A and B are shown apart, each in its own frame.
Chain A
Amino acid sequence: EPEVTQTPSHQVTQMGQEVILRCVPISNHLYFYWYRQILGQKVEFLVSFYNNEISEKSEIFDDQFSVERPDGSNFTLKIRSTKLEDSAMYFCASSEDHGGVKLFFGSGTQLSVL
């Protein structure tokens, strides 16, 4: 069964450093998402992406965040200058349906900012 893959599974960084989280969505999907989950809390929407443009973004997704689909397979989330409060599990997801009801999630990247 096709799946969304994320790398790395764990990322440790110093505050103020840039990080790039990588995702390979399911190949025939056209809609891509990033969510994050702080330990023990709910899954929070960050951004949705379609046709090389951001479709929707949350208040969390400020100027420090950016997304990119650099080629036909990868979808990346960049945090330019990490803060302690960026520590969370970051999930990439993709879907084939417009509107994003049935999302397929990766296993996540645990980001720890020290």
Chain B
Amino acid sequence: GESVGLHLPTLSVQEGDNSIINCAYSNSASDYFIWYKQESGKGPQFIIDIRSNMDKRQGQRVTVLLNKTVKHLSLQIAATQPGDSAVYFCAENILSASKIIFGSGTRLSIRP
């Protein structure tokens, strides 16, 4: 069954503020957790991943945190810009399964 889901369907933030998008998972067997971004009319776009034996990983303006104790994943976007407006999906991967499973998306909107 589905094991990846998001806490909130929508998030509105002020331009320039930090955004935090949360995700809960239930499958402890996942090898990787991944964040994808989907802009209107486009396919999902890879943002960042984190291996299950890590608790934090940073990219350009983004940080992913993994809390295995409470099975929680978050994506932090620093200094949110209008171009960050999109639906964000968390996803999980079991390497041997050759697929990723997407959770429900969170729509991020930016207030000017």
A contacts, CB < 8 Å to B: 4, 31, 33, 35, 41-45, 48, 50, 55-56, 91, 93, 98-108
Closest to B46 in A: A102
List chain A residues, Cβ under 8 A from B42.
Answer: 105, 107-108
List chain B residues, Cβ under 8 A from A50.
Answer: 98
Inter-chain CB contacts under 8 Å: number: 67
B contacts, CB < 8 Å to A: 31-32, 34, 38, 41-46, 49, 89, 93-105
* Interface residue from B31, B43, B105 paired with A42 (Cβ < 8 Å): B105
- A106, B98: Cα distance in complex, Å: 18
| CB atoms of B93 and A100 under 8 A apart | yes
Known: A42-B104, A43-B89, A100-B93. A105 touches B98 (CB 8 A): no
Known: A91-B44, A101-B34, A102-B49. A44 touches B97 (CB 8 A): no
Closest to B47 in A: A102
* Interface residue from A55, A99, A105, A106 paired with B93 (Cβ < 8 Å): A99
List chain A residues, Cβ under 8 A from B34.
Answer: 101-102
5 residue pairs, one from A and one from B, having the closest CB atoms:
A105-B43, A99-B95, A55-B98, A43-B102, A48-B98
Chain A CB within 10 A, most for which of B41, B94, B96, B98: B98
- Closest CB-CB distance, A95 to chain B, in whole Å? 9
List chain A residues, Cβ under 8 A from B43.
Answer: 4, 91, 93, 105-108
- A55, B95: Cα distance in complex, Å: 12
- A56, B101: Cα distance in complex, Å: 12
| CB atoms of B41 and A107 under 8 A apart | yes
| CB atoms of B101 and A98 under 8 A apart | no
- A42, B94: Cα distance in complex, Å: 19
| CB atoms of A101 and B32 under 8 A apart | yes
- Closest CB-CB distance, A68 to chain B, in whole Å? 18
- Closest CB-CB distance, B88 to chain A, in whole Å? 12
- Closest CB-CB distance, B60 to chain A, in whole Å? 15
Chain A CB within 10 A, most for which of B42, B93, B97, B100: B100
Closest to B96 in A: A99
List chain B residues, Cβ under 8 A from A100.
Answer: 93, 98-100
